[in-house]
Each structure stands twice: as C-alpha cells, then as structure tokens.
Amino acid sequence: MPNITGKAKRLRIYIGESDRRKNKPLFEAIVLKAKELDMAGATVYRGLMGYGANSRIHTAKIVDLSSDLPIVVEIVDSVEYIEQLLPYLNEVVTQGLVTIEDVDIIKYDHQTPKR
C-alpha cells in the first residue's frame, strides 16, 4: 500500500456502548463494515463520561457502574470511501451523532510485516 498524504475526510460516529446491531455491539458492526468496504482503518474510543440528546449522564465512575459509556468510532479516508459507508450508517445508527470533517493527511505509512 502506498504512502498517502493530502486531503481526506474524518468520519466520527458517536454512539453508546450498549447500542446493538444483530446481537453484536454496534461499534463492532461498523468497524467490520468499514473493513468489508476496504477502508483505510477505523478506531474505536471508549469515553469516560458524556451525555447526548436525552441529557442522561453516562460515566465510568465506580459508584455508577455504567454499562452504556460513550463510544466514538473514527475513520479517516477519501470522500469516496466515506460516502460508501454513509447509507449503512443511516440504517444502523438509530440514536447517535455522525459527523464529517475535512482533514489533511500529513503522513500515513503502511509497511508489510517482514516474514
């Protein structure tokens, strides 16, 4: 895979840890779909605290033991690849927030592991 630099898009999907898609975590379903579409990569972040449209606080404090912590799935790729994923996200993200931002890729190197 070549080194990539230049203009791209950052897609962020804000969902809850308890959100599901066909008996698996929604964040996992999204990452697997991105892989299926041969996207450059995806990262899942688990938040310590947050709230969304319903204004209910989700926190990782021991006292609260929340099982619905905030999750952010982040993908950086070309606009063409991001647009391929959007119909799927429209279908599976029933509660959450999806954003797209312009980004500049300064460096993206991929090396095949030596055998």
Instruction: Spell out the domains of the chain, with CATH numbers in brackets.
Output: 6-105 (3.30.70.120)
In the predicted model, is pLDDT for residue 13 greater than 60? Answer: yes
What is the rounded distance in angstroms from the CA atom of residue 21 to the CA atom of residue 92?
Answer: 7
What is the rounded distance in angstroms from the CA atom of residue 50 to the CA atom of residue 70?
Answer: 6
What is the rounded distance in angstroms from the CA atom of residue 93 to the CA atom of residue 15?
Answer: 8
pLDDT band at 24 (very low <50, low <70, confident <90, very high): very high
What b/e readout covers 42-59, taking b as 16+ CB neighbours within 10 angstroms?
A: bebeeeeebeeeeeeebb
Q: 53-81: per-residue pLDDT in tens?
A: 766 766 655 555 556 789 999 999 999 99
Q: Would you give the distance in Å from CA 65 to the centre of its chain?
A: 23
**Three-class secondary structure of residue 14 per DSSP:** strand
For the chain, how big is the Rg over CA atoms in Å?
16
